[in-house]
Structure 1
């Protein structure tokens, strides 16, 4: 049996032509010694045998507690945080009946007069709005007509006339300067105590 037949039967080198003198047994990476990490484990404690009824009762208790928490969250989900300034004090709520006035009912004649007055006011405001719109239309039409006549006379004068006048409304602004904060700066507002409630 030749050396090639021996190598092909024992290793994966059958596809490689091996010379007659073989010094390397394997062409794969050398096998090195490796150590596994030290696992400081201890033997497991023996499980105590418990009654299945007790285990089931504990699981039911946990389940009920979680369901109760979910119901509480769902109940308070859409409630907004209360604003203490908007709440009515209990002293006022206790004396609410004493604070209410018993006013006499409004007669039909007064109600009719109020409705007629409101209609009159609406008519007046509508007419005023129409007059204002017509006046603005007349002014705009006259301005456009004057610009068209000016354009016929001189294109240069027309271009100067349609430029906006920046001096009509002078506007000046100074932005904040970029300076580093002053160290140990004492604020003139004094101490601030945050008394807002935590939710």
Structure 2
């Protein structure tokens, strides 16, 4: 009996360590049985926790300030940027024109004034013509309304026969015969501005 008790004690001790010394017992231990107890959480000083939170707040505020500062700046458009080679050659590219005489300057100023006056008169005459047309149309419609309400209602309806447009066509584009669609991925090469 003592021998059997010692043997079972030995097999229990070895099976807890996931070691089987006898093939007869075939004891299998799952990893859950071998798990360690959870570590105790360390209690932190409230002062240290407050300092960490303050650091986080300062970091976030700094990032917000940086984002607000950069929000006012517009993203550069590459097509509108002047190449550096042109900036380097600026002195070579500037034309050296002789200064204009007083007569030429006066002629140009008079031409600009005459052109402005002409365009102003043209605009005023266009507005006057439109006003005359609208007034005559309104007078004619008022007279027509006095004569017959039915004719007036027909007159103010839009006339669809003035612009006879009938469009007929395919609803979808027909497929192209023997077209092989290209393989591959679409890669955006735009620069990302953060």
Q: TM-score, normalised by structure 1?
A: 0.50
Q: Per-residue displacement from partner, 1:137-184 (whole Å, max 9, x unpaired)?
A: 22222222222332333222222112221232356689xx8xxxxxxx
Per the TM alignment, residue 79 of structure 1 is displaced from its structure 2 partner at its CA by 3.2
Residue 94 of structure 2 aligns with which residue?
100
2:150 is the alignment partner of 1:156: yes
Residue 15 of structure 2 aligns with which residue?
none
Residue 39 of structure 2 aligns with which residue?
42
Task: Provide the C-alpha distance between the structure 2 equivalents of 1:168 and 1:90, rounded to a whole number of angstroms.
Answer: 57
Per the TM alignment, residue 81 of structure 1 is displaced from its structure 2 partner at its CA by 2.8
Task: Provide the C-alpha distance between the structure 2 equivalents of 1:142 and 1:83, rounded to a whole number of angstroms.
Answer: 53
Unaligned stretches of 5+ in structure 2? 1-35, 43-54, 172-179
- Aligned residue pairs total 138
The structure richer in helix per residue is: 2
Q: Per-residue displacement from partner, 1:25-81 (whole Å, max 9, x unpaired)?
A: xxxxxxxxxxxxxx9333689xxxxxxxxxxxxxxxx9xxx6xx7697677554333
2:78 is the alignment partner of 1:84: yes
CA gap 1:141/1:189 in 2 versus in 1, 3 angstroms? farther
2:173 is the alignment partner of 1:169: no
CA gap 1:196/1:118 in 2 versus in 1, 3 angstroms? same
Residue 198 of structure 1 aligns with which residue?
192
Task: Provide the C-alpha distance between the structure 2 equivalents of 1:136 and 1:44, rounded to a whole number of angstroms.
Answer: 86
Q: Per-residue displacement from partner, 1:110-137 (whole Å, max 9, x unpaired)?
A: 2222221111112112222222222222
Task: Provide the C-alpha distance between the structure 1 equivalents of 2:125 and 2:141, rounded to a whole number of angstroms.
Answer: 24
RMSD between superposed Cα atoms in Å: 4.2
CA gap 1:197/1:130 in 2 versus in 1, 3 angstroms? closer
CA gap 1:155/1:189 in 2 versus in 1, 3 angstroms? farther
Unaligned stretches of 5+ in structure 1? 1-38, 46-61, 178-185
